[in-house]
Amino acid sequence: MRCIPSPSHECTLADQRVDLDKAWRSAIPLPCNRVLSEHLVSTTKKRALLIGVRYRGLKWRGSDVPMDLHGTHNDVECWKYALMECGYLEKDIRILWDRDDVHPLSNDYPNRKNILREMRALTAGVQDYQRRFLAFCGHRQGVAPDGSDSAILGADTQNPISDADLKICLLDPLTKLSSLTVSGESH
């Protein structure tokens, strides 16, 4: 299933008009409505990391309750489409997901190791006026093993990614004039 925008909403990219689906217009935080000068727009480098974890066949630890999430892969495709409509190049959008055609040993599989590697790559060498975007579609847990407030769960659910991990990989490398937008569709 693909995300198809409706002509009812639009945003402006430089002089180009782009149609966006109503849900995405409210969900995309301003990369569309750029107020940067022509010079900054032409030198701005944008990259995105999209992570979709369905957890098919997995159960919550110590329980028979299934972890399955439906729609996470479609959410990733919708984010990809919306970001491309807002000027992100397909080659600058990295996707990790646990689709049936992605082997668990693949670099595209959303386990802890791959997620942390791609988060570091997302923010590595970021410079002023560069934009980064991260969407995580998956589960989170309330208290991480290290005692921090919460953690996200990759497909290898026994290895949560804590708030501290996220700070080190995503926030610490940013400059004062760079930006990171994060969408967490967690359950």
pLDDT per residue as tens digits for the range 122-133: 999 999 999 999
- Average pLDDT over the chain, rounded to an integer: 79
Please provide residue 107's backbone torsions phi and psi, each rounded to the nearest 5 degrees: -70, -10
pLDDT digits (tens, 9 = 90+) for 60-80: 888 888 889 999 999 999 999
User: Mind listing the pLDDT tens digit for each residue in 79-108?
Assistant: 999 999 999 999 999 999 999 999 999 999
What DSSP designation does 113 have?
H
- Which residues have C-beta within 8 Å of that of residue 5, sequence separation ≥ 6? 19, 20, 21, 24, 81, 82, 85
Q: Would you say 153 and 69 are in contact if contact means Cβ atoms under 8 Å apart?
A: no
Q: What is the residue type of 109?
A: Y
Q: What is this structure's pTM?
A: 0.74
- The answer to whether 161 and 151 are in contact (CB under 8 A) is yes
- Cα(136)–Cα(156) distance, integer angstroms: 15
Domains parsed from the chain with CATH numbers: 9-186 (3.40.50.12660)
- 3-state class (DSSP) for residue 170: helix
Across the strands, what pairs with 138?
A: 186
Write out pLDDT tens, residues 141-172. Answer: 776 555 557 889 999 988 899 989 999 999 99
Q: Which residues of 60-89 are buried (b: 16+ CB within 10 A; e: fewer)?
A: eeeeeeebebeebbebbbbbbbbbebbbbe
Rounded CA separation 125/61 (Å): 38
Residues 6+ apart with CB under 8 A from 62: none
Phi, psi at residue 27, to the nearest 5°? -90, -25
Calculate Rg over the CA atoms of the chain. 17
Q: Is the pLDDT of residue 40 over 80?
A: no
